[in-house]
A and B are shown apart, each in its own frame.
Chain A
Protein backbone atom coordinates (compact mmCIF):
# COMPACT_ATOMS: atom_id res chain seq x y z
CA UNK A 1 0.00 0.00 0.00
CA UNK A 2 1.09 3.56 -0.62
CA UNK A 3 0.95 6.16 2.09
CA UNK A 4 2.28 9.64 2.77
CA UNK A 5 2.54 10.93 6.32
CA UNK A 6 3.04 14.56 7.25
CA UNK A 7 3.15 14.42 11.02
CA UNK A 8 3.28 18.19 11.52
CA UNK A 9 -0.23 19.57 11.30
CA UNK A 10 0.71 23.21 11.86
CA UNK A 11 3.98 25.08 12.24
CA UNK A 12 4.34 28.70 13.24
CA UNK A 13 7.58 30.63 12.78
CA UNK A 14 8.73 34.21 12.79
CA UNK A 15 9.91 35.74 9.55
CA UNK A 16 13.53 34.96 8.65
CA UNK A 17 13.56 31.73 10.61
CA UNK A 18 14.39 28.50 8.80
CA UNK A 19 11.70 25.82 8.86
CA UNK A 20 11.65 22.16 7.84
CA UNK A 21 8.50 20.33 6.82
CA UNK A 22 8.67 16.57 7.26
CA UNK A 23 7.36 13.94 4.86
CA UNK A 24 7.54 10.17 5.33
CA UNK A 25 6.27 7.84 2.62
CA UNK A 26 5.49 4.16 2.26
CA UNK A 27 5.54 2.13 -0.94
CA UNK A 28 6.53 -1.39 -1.95
CA UNK A 29 7.57 -0.19 -5.38
CA UNK A 30 11.22 0.44 -6.09
CA UNK A 31 10.45 3.06 -8.72
CA UNK A 32 8.43 6.06 -7.67
CA UNK A 33 8.22 9.84 -7.75
CA UNK A 34 7.82 12.25 -4.88
CA UNK A 35 6.33 15.72 -5.07
CA UNK A 36 5.78 18.83 -3.01
CA UNK A 37 2.90 21.23 -3.63
CA UNK A 38 2.03 24.57 -2.02
CA UNK A 39 -1.57 25.63 -1.40
CA UNK A 40 -1.75 29.33 -0.51
CA UNK A 41 -4.89 30.90 0.98
CA UNK A 42 -6.19 31.48 -2.55
CA UNK A 43 -6.65 27.72 -2.77
CA UNK A 44 -4.87 26.61 -5.93
CA UNK A 45 -2.29 23.86 -5.50
CA UNK A 46 1.04 24.97 -6.93
CA UNK A 47 3.64 22.42 -8.00
CA UNK A 48 7.07 22.90 -6.37
CA UNK A 49 9.23 19.86 -7.11
CA UNK A 50 9.25 16.33 -8.53
CA UNK A 51 11.96 13.83 -7.61
CA UNK A 52 12.41 10.25 -8.75
CA UNK A 53 13.47 7.41 -6.50
CA UNK A 54 16.83 6.93 -8.20
CA UNK A 55 18.04 10.44 -7.53
CA UNK A 56 18.92 11.02 -3.90
CA UNK A 57 20.81 14.22 -4.46
CA UNK A 58 19.55 17.10 -2.43
CA UNK A 59 18.06 19.93 -4.43
CA UNK A 60 18.12 23.65 -3.82
CA UNK A 61 15.99 26.27 -5.51
CA UNK A 62 16.45 29.72 -4.07
CA UNK A 63 15.29 29.62 -0.44
CA UNK A 64 13.82 26.15 -0.90
CA UNK A 65 15.72 22.89 -0.46
CA UNK A 66 14.71 19.26 -0.36
CA UNK A 67 16.38 16.35 1.39
CA UNK A 68 15.53 12.90 0.03
CA UNK A 69 16.67 9.90 2.10
CA UNK A 70 15.56 6.47 0.92
CA UNK A 71 17.02 4.84 4.04
CA UNK A 72 14.42 6.58 6.17
CA UNK A 73 11.75 6.94 3.44
CA UNK A 74 11.71 10.67 3.94
CA UNK A 75 11.52 13.66 1.62
CA UNK A 76 11.79 16.74 3.78
CA UNK A 77 11.38 20.33 2.64
CA UNK A 78 13.28 23.26 4.15
CA UNK A 79 12.51 26.93 3.67
CA UNK A 80 15.43 29.17 4.55
CA UNK A 81 14.83 32.70 5.83
CA UNK A 82 11.07 32.28 5.72
CA UNK A 83 8.84 35.11 4.56
CA UNK A 84 5.20 35.96 5.22
CA UNK A 85 4.38 34.97 1.63
CA UNK A 86 5.47 31.42 2.46
CA UNK A 87 2.39 31.05 4.65
CA UNK A 88 0.40 28.23 3.09
CA UNK A 89 -0.45 24.56 3.37
CA UNK A 90 2.27 22.33 1.96
CA UNK A 91 1.54 18.85 0.65
CA UNK A 92 3.90 15.99 0.02
CA UNK A 93 2.77 13.42 -2.57
CA UNK A 94 3.80 10.05 -4.00
CA UNK A 95 3.26 8.35 -7.35
CA UNK A 96 4.59 4.88 -8.07
CA UNK A 97 4.38 2.11 -10.62
CA UNK A 98 1.53 0.64 -8.60
CA UNK A 99 -1.07 2.86 -10.24
CA UNK A 100 -2.02 6.09 -11.93
CA UNK A 101 -3.01 7.98 -8.84
CA UNK A 102 -0.81 10.43 -6.97
CA UNK A 103 -1.31 10.04 -3.23
CA UNK A 104 -1.17 13.12 -1.01
CA UNK A 105 -0.38 13.59 2.62
CA UNK A 106 -2.71 15.51 4.92
CA UNK A 107 -0.59 18.64 4.60
CA UNK A 108 1.31 20.93 6.96
CA UNK A 109 -0.04 24.41 7.53
CA UNK A 110 2.79 26.93 7.83
CA UNK A 111 2.25 30.31 9.45
CA UNK A 112 5.02 32.85 9.01
CA UNK A 113 4.57 35.87 11.24
CA UNK A 114 6.11 39.24 10.49
Chain B
Protein backbone atom coordinates (compact mmCIF):
# COMPACT_ATOMS: atom_id res chain seq x y z
CA UNK B 1 0.00 0.00 0.00
CA UNK B 2 0.91 3.65 -0.19
CA UNK B 3 1.25 4.21 3.53
CA UNK B 4 1.76 2.34 6.77
CA UNK B 5 -1.29 0.22 7.48
CA UNK B 6 -2.34 -0.82 10.97
CA UNK B 7 -5.06 -3.19 12.12
CA UNK B 8 -7.27 -3.11 14.04
CA UNK B 9 -7.92 0.60 14.15
CA UNK B 10 -9.76 0.15 17.44
CA UNK B 11 -9.63 -2.64 19.98
CA UNK B 12 -11.49 -2.92 23.27
CA UNK B 13 -10.40 -5.79 25.46
CA UNK B 14 -10.90 -6.94 29.01
CA UNK B 15 -8.18 -6.74 31.59
CA UNK B 16 -6.04 -9.85 31.54
CA UNK B 17 -6.69 -10.72 27.90
CA UNK B 18 -4.12 -11.14 25.14
CA UNK B 19 -3.97 -8.66 22.25
CA UNK B 20 -2.21 -8.59 18.90
CA UNK B 21 -1.75 -5.45 16.83
CA UNK B 22 -0.60 -5.70 13.25
CA UNK B 23 1.47 -3.34 11.12
CA UNK B 24 2.14 -3.42 7.38
CA UNK B 25 4.92 -0.92 6.56
CA UNK B 26 5.41 1.09 3.40
CA UNK B 27 6.53 -1.23 0.64
CA UNK B 28 10.32 -1.35 0.39
CA UNK B 29 10.95 0.16 3.81
CA UNK B 30 13.60 -1.75 5.70
CA UNK B 31 13.15 -0.34 9.19
CA UNK B 32 10.02 -0.62 11.33
CA UNK B 33 9.20 1.05 14.62
CA UNK B 34 6.51 0.75 17.26
CA UNK B 35 5.59 3.72 19.41
CA UNK B 36 2.92 4.23 22.04
CA UNK B 37 1.05 7.48 22.53
CA UNK B 38 -0.97 8.23 25.63
CA UNK B 39 -3.51 11.04 25.77
CA UNK B 40 -1.84 14.42 25.69
CA UNK B 41 1.64 13.00 25.24
CA UNK B 42 4.10 12.59 22.42
CA UNK B 43 4.88 9.22 20.88
CA UNK B 44 7.01 7.05 23.15
CA UNK B 45 9.46 4.63 21.53
CA UNK B 46 8.89 0.92 22.11
CA UNK B 47 10.93 -1.14 19.64
CA UNK B 48 12.83 -0.89 16.36
CA UNK B 49 13.40 -3.57 13.73
CA UNK B 50 16.10 -3.73 11.10
CA UNK B 51 14.80 -6.40 8.75
CA UNK B 52 13.64 -9.34 10.84
CA UNK B 53 15.59 -8.62 14.01
CA UNK B 54 14.81 -6.23 16.83
CA UNK B 55 17.78 -3.85 16.89
CA UNK B 56 16.51 -1.93 19.91
CA UNK B 57 13.73 -3.06 22.23
CA UNK B 58 14.70 -0.82 25.11
CA UNK B 59 11.33 0.93 25.11
CA UNK B 60 9.19 -2.12 25.81
CA UNK B 61 7.77 -1.43 29.28
CA UNK B 62 7.92 -5.01 30.58
CA UNK B 63 7.93 -8.64 29.52
CA UNK B 64 4.21 -8.61 28.77
CA UNK B 65 5.07 -6.77 25.57
CA UNK B 66 6.66 -8.55 22.63
CA UNK B 67 6.95 -7.82 18.91
CA UNK B 68 7.95 -9.87 15.90
CA UNK B 69 8.69 -9.28 12.25
CA UNK B 70 9.35 -12.79 10.94
CA UNK B 71 9.73 -12.03 7.23
CA UNK B 72 11.08 -8.52 7.43
CA UNK B 73 7.86 -6.84 6.40
CA UNK B 74 4.68 -7.15 8.48
CA UNK B 75 5.10 -6.83 12.23
CA UNK B 76 2.89 -7.85 15.14
CA UNK B 77 2.96 -6.26 18.58
CA UNK B 78 1.74 -8.70 21.21
CA UNK B 79 0.55 -7.73 24.67
CA UNK B 80 -0.12 -10.42 27.25
CA UNK B 81 -2.27 -10.11 30.39
CA UNK B 82 -3.38 -6.62 29.43
CA UNK B 83 -3.76 -3.99 32.13
CA UNK B 84 -5.82 -0.80 32.14
CA UNK B 85 -2.59 1.19 31.99
CA UNK B 86 -1.87 -0.33 28.58
CA UNK B 87 -4.71 1.74 27.10
CA UNK B 88 -3.17 4.02 24.48
CA UNK B 89 -2.70 4.49 20.76
CA UNK B 90 -0.08 2.12 19.40
CA UNK B 91 1.65 3.67 16.41
CA UNK B 92 3.64 1.83 13.83
CA UNK B 93 6.12 3.61 11.58
CA UNK B 94 8.62 2.69 8.91
CA UNK B 95 11.62 4.24 7.20
CA UNK B 96 13.34 3.48 3.95
CA UNK B 97 16.76 2.95 5.46
CA UNK B 98 18.06 1.50 8.68
CA UNK B 99 20.05 3.51 11.20
CA UNK B 100 19.55 6.76 12.99
CA UNK B 101 18.31 10.03 11.54
CA UNK B 102 15.94 8.61 8.97
CA UNK B 103 12.53 10.13 8.43
CA UNK B 104 9.92 7.81 9.85
CA UNK B 105 6.41 7.63 8.43
CA UNK B 106 3.53 6.74 10.70
CA UNK B 107 0.34 4.77 10.32
CA UNK B 108 -2.96 5.91 11.76
CA UNK B 109 -2.48 3.86 14.89
CA UNK B 110 -4.37 1.19 16.77
CA UNK B 111 -6.45 2.55 19.63
CA UNK B 112 -6.35 0.03 22.47
CA UNK B 113 -8.75 0.31 25.37
CA UNK B 114 -8.45 -2.13 28.26
CA UNK B 115 -11.57 -2.24 30.45
Contact = CB atoms under 8 A, between A and B. Distances in A.
Contact size range, A: 20 to 34
A97 interface: yes
Given A104-B43, A107-B41, A44 B56 contact: no
Interface stretch (B11-19, B61-69, B95-103): B95-103
B99 A104 contact: no
Contact of B108 (A35, A37, A43, A103): A43
Given A43-B109, A44-B107, A100 B42 contact: no
Contacts of A52: 101
A50 interface: yes
B23 interface: no
Contacts, number: 64
Contacts of B58: 101
Nearest to A4: B42
B48 A100 contact: yes
Interface residues of B, number: 28
Interface in A12-45: 32-33, 35, 37, 42-45
Given A43-B89, A95-B100, A101 B45 contact: yes
Interface centre among A35, A43, A95, A99 (most CB of B within 10 A): A43
A111 B91 CA distance: 24
B56 A100 contact: yes
Interface of B: 31, 33, 35, 40-45, 48, 55-56, 58-59, 89, 91, 93, 99-109
User: Top 9 A-B pairs ranked by shortest CB distance?
Assistant: A104-B42, A45-B106, A101-B45, A33-B101, A44-B108, A100-B48, A100-B56, A104-B43, A95-B101
